[in-house]
Each structure stands twice: as structure tokens, then as C-alpha cells.
Structure 1
């Protein structure tokens, strides 16, 4: 039997929201992924890290989910944005504190660059708070353009090096 097509979704939060704490929001987002047609196949533990680029802001909780890619990449990113709004996300300036951030990191190895979507995610490979959780659940996942595994990228990631699994 063939493996289902897979996508990688990064989740992050550093502000409480409609569901409660950042971890409560992340758990709610995971539940809504399946409802949105992106069933979760695997998920990482929650990790914690300082805010970037300003570590004086609220600490982040991050994680990664591998979901079944049952729809196009454009449809998947629209569903992720809908979940963000449903759980209270209001967009501000780049790198601002946020209740919820859902990023499509990879969708079946597609390489796409449009005004609305860039795949693979253009900066995920630099972020330990993404690659660390991904390496936890899929160490052999390969970056579609760099060809390196999640484990290799986690070892090289320069941003968010203080990230670690939350207790």
C-alpha cells in the first residue's frame, strides 16, 4: 500500500488567546488540522525558545506536525490561515508576538514560488525551533531543494539555538 502524500506544518505561539495558554492554542490548532482536511499523522513534542529576534519578548512554544496532504498546497495554506483566524490570530508587524502561527514548511516536496506561497518555506531550514522538532519525528525528511535531512539541518540551524523540548 502506498504511503499517503505528506506535508510539514510548523506551529508556534507566544501569547495566550481564545483557547487559553500558548500550549492550549497549539493543541487546539492540531485538532483543527484534521477537521480542515489535513489529518495529523505525526507530531513533535512542544519545544520552548526565546523570541526571535528580540529575546526580551514572551518565550515561544513551537512544534511540528506531519499531515496527510489531501489537497493542493494553495488549498492547504488557505486552511492554515483560516485556523489561525479562527483561533484569534491578528497579523501585525513581522516577528511580532502572536497567538498562533501556522507555517507550511513542505508539501510533498513541491517547489513553488508565487506571491501567496513559497515552498519549501524559505527560512525554516535556518530555524532550530522548526528543524529540531521536525528531526524529533522525521529525522530522515529531506529538504526539497537543499537535499539535507531534518537532522542535518537541525545541526546547522543558527536561529533559535536555545530551543529545547518543554518540560
Structure 2
């Protein structure tokens, strides 16, 4: 099973390392606007609704300050990853009851079936367990650093 090229999923315009948001809804709305600006979703409101519905079923607060909200929807044009680092922690009802300061949001077209987002989630969650990778990602000061870490993550996964 071939993994998507990271450059088709994310670029520097889909990363913001200085988000000033006070709650989960504001973070999701802001990150959805980045997707909308890149013409990766047809309806920002439908996408946000899909993400919030998913959140209402089970938190995507992964733990260790990270959340991985995601939505599989007809409104998504291209599989995408959008990343946000908050200035302050946000309550995400995370599994470890800690606040979230780093969000990796996935947008997946409904037409892609079940494997694409599971593959991305599996790769990311596997890497986020690694303390060094997680620390490097969360402490990245520049968008290029985030992209490089994700590229390394994907290339190591496809080589194994």
C-alpha cells in the first residue's frame, strides 16, 4: 500500500505556529479557514460540522498536548493535513485530561474510502508516541521544520 506524498497533503500555508484561540471550536474554525483558503474544501461550515460531530463521538485529544481532529466528508476536495500550534493550551477533553497546544487536523474526501485516513492516523499516532519526534514537532519554530519532520516520518514509514 503506497503512502501519499507528504507534499500533496500539506504545505507551509497549511501550518500556523502562532494561533491565538481560546477554545476547541475556534481552533477548528481557524484551521478550516486555512483549508478553505487553499481551495481544499467546498464548504467550510460543512467541514467544521463534520469535525465537531466526530469530536462529539470521542475526543481526538491524543494526549501529551496533541489533538488529531479529522473529518471524512464530501466537502473535502483533496486529502489534506493542516497543523496549528496554539499560543496557549486549549481544553480538548483529551484522554490524559491535559490541555492541547498542538493540533494536526486531517481532511479526507468521502470518496477515498476507509484506508487513506486510517493510514495517515496510524503513521502519525505511531510517530507521536516517540518522545523525541513529538518534542521536535511541538517545539518546531518554523514551518519548514514541521514539513521536514513530517517528510522524514513518511519516508521512514514507506521504507520499513
TM-score class normalised by the smaller sequence: 0.3 to 0.5
TM-score normalised according to structure 2 size: 0.34
TM-score normalised according to structure 1 size: 0.33
